A = this chain, B = another copy of it.
Amino acid sequence: MAAAGRPALARALLQQCVSARLQVKPPEHDSEAEWVEIQRGLVIYICFFKGADEDIVPKIGDVLIIPQATLGGKPKGRKMQYHANIEKEKGLELYSQFVTLCEKELAGNARCMEAGVLVKHGTYGNRQVLKLDTNGPYTHLIEF
């Protein structure tokens, strides 16, 4: 599904939602868990592969961006392998760029600003907890 003739550089999974809530910091003995939350909008699970170095930006509604390295797995026997996934540091860098681009794209769109569209995002490399309410689901898979 990626551009013909080369392996995919990124894989994104899109799921519309009525509301979604993602834990971005687990509870600790001296602090409560932190969550980000969106209402009607789009959840984007994103994973980068080795060789990725730039990317494009999706649109529409509130947006919750979730780093999701497991999406890059390949079944091998009864296990999943992640040999094609990008190195952690580069992945964090691309993920941050992707979040920033989404934020800029929405901030630059007058109708999104009028509607008060929000971009929220998970923390790269962090333990996460997701609660999702859909009136679908409608799940789309896109590779770049």
Contact = CB atoms under 8 A, between A and B. Distances in A.
Interface stretch (A95-103, A112-120, A123-131): A123-131
A91 to B, nearest CB: 16
Given A45-B137, A75-B142, A130 B130 contact: no
A132 interface: yes
B142 A137 contact: no
A31 interface: no
Nearest to A43: B137
A136 interface: yes
> Quick one: copies of this chain in the complex?
2
Contact of A137 (B1, B75, B130): B130
Contacts of A1: 74
Contacts of A134: 129-132
A132 B131 contact: yes
B11 A141 contact: yes
Interface string A63-95: 000101011011100001000000000000000
The 5 nearest A-B residue pairs measured at CB: A132-B132, A130-B137, A130-B134, A70-B138, A131-B133
